[in-house]
Amino acid sequence: MKQILKHSFEAVSLLTTDNGMLDVTIVPALNQLDWIIPSSLILSVDDYHERIWIYLWQQQEVAVFHMLPRDQVVDKIVVLEGNTPAHRVALQTAGELHQVKVRISDVKDIDLPKYYVDVALSNIDANKIKDDSTNIYQSLSVSTADDTINAVEEHFRENVVQSYLFQTVIIDDTLYLVPDLDKIAHQLVDLDR
């Protein structure tokens, strides 16, 4: 009987039961898909019932991103690690966060559903009316599962998903938004303070 030689190249076994899994947290949002972020980025989840723009976390001011419209009640702050301590951000939301383990192979990229594109476009139009004197818009083609919509892209806005959307994914028939956390952090953090 021939002896079986063990493969010495470690990268072959990177996708094992443990390594092929992602620890993610689902953060509830309103008027957009719930967010899915790596659980390892969460530094703390604190109860907080007042809408704020800057959160004092461990004696550090952290810029806040609002995941709910202004007329909605908030109840928690989720502090996320950034590329530097200065680029930490907090998410203000309401509802329960859910931690899940998912297989990498179960996460599929998908286009942003048309409904959310339409909501974003209406928010862009509302912002254009407010900012009519500035020229902060540029042409953009947005693809959905149904078609491509010609839209405009504006600078980062909390109420315009396309301004911070990294990717839309589907896991177990549920859609989630993967935010561009670096872009959010760099837009919210004022390093001149």
Is the model's pLDDT at 37 over the cut of 70? yes
Between the two ends of the chain, the Cα-to-Cα distance in Å is 72
The tokens of 186 are what?
């760099």
Residue 164: pLDDT band with limits 50, 70, 90? confident
Q: What is the mean pLDDT of residues 107-134?
A: 68
Is the model's pLDDT at 16 over the cut of 60? no
Question: Are 88 and 44 spatial neighbours (Cβ–Cβ below 8 Å)?
Answer: no
- What is the pLDDT at residue 31? 82
Is the model's pLDDT at 187 over the cut of 90? no
Task: Pick the more confident residue, 113 or 181.
Answer: 181
Task: Pick the more confident residue, 17 or 189.
Answer: 189
Calpha distance 93→97 (Å, rounded)? 10
Average pLDDT, the chain: 78
- CA 185 to chain CA centroid, Å, is 11
Share of the chain above pLDDT 70, in %: 68
The tokens of 163 are what?
């301004």
List the chain domain ranges.
15-110+163-188
φ/ψ bin of 77: left (φ > 0), alpha (ψ from -120 to 50), beta (otherwise): beta
The whole-model pTM stands at: 0.72
Q: Kindly report, residue by residue over 48-89, the tens digit of the pLDDT.
A: 999 999 999 999 999 999 998 888 999 999 999 998 899 999
